Amino acid sequence: MKNPYQNAMAQLDKVAKIKDFGGEFITRLRQPDRDIRISIPIKMDNGSLKIFEGYRVEYNNLLGPYKGGIRYHPETEINEVKALAFWMALKCAVAGIPMGGGKGGITVDPTKLSKGELERLSRGWIQKLADVLGPRKDVPAPDVNTTPEIMAWMADEYAKITGDKTGAVITGKPLGQGGSEGRGTATAQGGFYVFEALKKELDLPSKCRVAIQGFGNAGSCAADIWDKAGHTIIAVSDSKGGIYDKNGLDIGKLLKYKKNTGALFGFPKSKKITNEELLGLECDLLIPAAFENQITETNAKKVKAKAILELANGPTTPEADEILFKKSIPIVPDILANSGGVTVSYFEWEQNLKRKHWTEKEVFKKLKLMMEDSAKKMLERAKKSKTNLRMGAFILALERIKAGMK
């Protein structure tokens, strides 16, 4: 299987065949502006010294400061981070926000660190990268396994080093420390606004049967939002596997069960299933909300959903894309479907710089308008070029990035 960056470049090659953007422009987008690898020495609680590998990829800043999250995961590596930074550049462009694409990470299992070790590691990442970060240069945010508390540590460390106390260098902070209302649910909420805008075009029923792969922040929030809107959540999963109930899971009770037990398995009236089985369930809407490369040429033929909405980054490989297109299963692509998170991050950045604080109602009103507008423009591009929604989103994003060169 190709790594995420190879998949991202395959997507770029494909869109370049659909619309002529000029060879030099495409060549420029094939490499990031800068990829930085750092070693972070941390004194562990037992007195030993451990070296962690960290990354920051600054992909493209034609539309504004580099923007993108930081993930802590044992399998995080440079090709994954480069792919995510590329997708972030497109995501900001398709969402219509004046920011570029970046991504960061540390190869670490944060569950094996104490709180003190985690704080020292997070501050260490900032210490190594403070000279390239800044509210007008590069603005990190949370991602997999990074929390508002970690963002607060990072913002504090940056302020100590540089004297900049606006907080605008980091988004996803706690509310009391410059964070934005609505940031915690923004990725899923934005995805829901896109779903609502495209539901008729996707030929979906007014009330859908939904399966969600991934039950972290995006997946659990999506389950809650779709459930409260009257849809039936028939299956969810996490890294250990999933649960299924053909009559629908009680999401309110499931969220409490997961919080209390740390698990999905054993939830009353549910059947234990694998992640692979979840992807093949008969449903109206499949929402991948976990990691990259989940729907592949190996399992795409088994997908029975009427439509897919990608809350994860890069969950569908290019080979699977082709298979699903032939099966007439539309995919609402990640660079639009999950751009609610970065859009509200942009709102937080703007509020910090202007010393303002918007209500949650104001945040979601602005988010809804932007997501609906981008969904409409993506659909227009897809129809005009007689291609799928992913390529429609890529065309929209690349048009906006290229316009930034002038």
Angle at 268 between CA 267 and CA 273, to 5 degrees: 55
Angle at 108 between CA 103 and CA 112, to 5 degrees: 140
Which residue do the tokens 């048009």 mark? 399
Beginning with the edge strand found earlier in the chain, give each strand of the sheet holding 138-142 in spatial order. Answer: 34-43, 49-60, 101-107, 66-73, 138-142
**Is there a domain that residue 360 lies in?**
no
In the set 103, 306, 368, 377, the catalytic residue is 103
CA distance 240 to 225: 23
Report the percent of the chain where pLDDT is more than 70: 100
Q: Based on the domain organization, do 242 and 150 belong to the same domain?
A: no
Asked whether the predicted pLDDT for residue 134 surpasses 90, the reply is yes
**Is there a domain that residue 349 lies in?**
no
Asked whether the predicted pLDDT for residue 406 surpasses 70, the reply is no
Q: Based on the domain organization, do 67 and 199 belong to the same domain?
A: no
Beta strands in 15-48 (DSSP E): 34-43
> Position 42: which residue type?
I
**Is there a domain that residue 380 lies in?**
no
Task: Identify the CATH number of the domain in which residue 71 sits.
Answer: 3.40.50.10860
Chosen domain end from 106, 137, 168: 168
Strand-pairing partners, residue 287, are 212
- Render pLDDT for 11-32 as a digit per residue (tens, 0 to 9): 999 999 999 999 899 999 999 9
Q: What is the number of domains present in the chain?
A: 2
State yes or no: is 103 an active-site residue.
yes
**pTM higher than 0.85 for the full model?**
yes
Task: Identify the CATH number of the domain in which residue 311 sits.
Answer: 3.40.50.720
Q: Based on the domain organization, do 196 and 305 belong to the same domain?
A: yes
Q: Based on the domain organization, do 209 and 141 belong to the same domain?
A: no
Q: Based on the domain organization, do 123 and 70 belong to the same domain?
A: yes
Chosen domain end from 337, 363, 391: 337
**Is there a domain that residue 357 lies in?**
no
Domain that holds residue 149: 4-11+23-168
The predicted model gives 295-306 an average pLDDT of 97
**Is there a domain that residue 396 lies in?**
no
Asked whether the predicted pLDDT for residue 132 surpasses 80, the reply is yes
Give the torsion sign (CA, 86, 88, 91, 96): negative
- Render pLDDT for 209-266 as a digit per residue (tens, 0 to 9): 999 999 999 999 999 999 999 999 999 999 999 999 999 999 999 999 999 999 999 9
**Is there a domain that residue 376 lies in?**
no
CA distance 380 to 393: 10
Q: Based on the domain organization, do 202 and 331 belong to the same domain?
A: yes
Chosen domain end from 337, 354, 369: 337
Report the mean per-residue pLDDT for the chain.
96
- Render pLDDT for 165-220 as a digit per residue (tens, 0 to 9): 999 999 999 999 999 999 999 999 999 999 999 999 999 999 999 999 999 999 99
Q: Based on the domain organization, do 193 and 333 belong to the same domain?
A: yes
Which residue do the tokens 């502006």 mark? 33
> What are the structure tokens assigned to 308, written together?
């897919």
Q: Based on the domain organization, do 30 and 128 belong to the same domain?
A: yes
Q: Based on the domain organization, do 199 and 240 belong to the same domain?
A: yes
- Render pLDDT for 311-370 as a digit per residue (tens, 0 to 9): 999 999 999 999 999 999 999 999 999 999 999 999 999 999 999 999 999 999 999 999
**Is there a domain that residue 365 lies in?**
no
List phi, psi (to 5°) of 175. Answer: -55, -40
Q: Based on the domain organization, do 327 and 232 belong to the same domain?
A: yes
Asked whether the predicted pLDDT for residue 1 surpasses 80, the reply is no
Give the torsion sign (CA, 319, 320, 323, 324): negative
Q: Based on the domain organization, do 276 and 319 belong to the same domain?
A: yes
- Render pLDDT for 39-95 as a digit per residue (tens, 0 to 9): 999 999 999 999 999 999 999 999 999 999 999 999 999 999 999 999 999 999 999
Beta strands in 162-320 (DSSP E): 209-213, 232-238, 241-244, 271-273, 285-288, 307-309
Strand-pairing partners, residue 142, are 70
> What are the structure tokens assigned to 231, written together?
């849809």
* Concatenated DSSP letters of 326-386: HTT--EE-HHHHTTHHHHHHHHHHHHHHHT----HHHHHHHHHHHHHHHHHHHHHHHHHTT
Label residue 405 by pLDDT band (50, 70, 90).
confident
Q: Based on the domain organization, do 147 and 222 belong to the same domain?
A: no
Residue 73: Cβ within 10 Å count: 18
The predicted model gives 110-133 an average pLDDT of 98
Look at the chain and count its residues: 406
**Is there a domain that residue 388 lies in?**
no
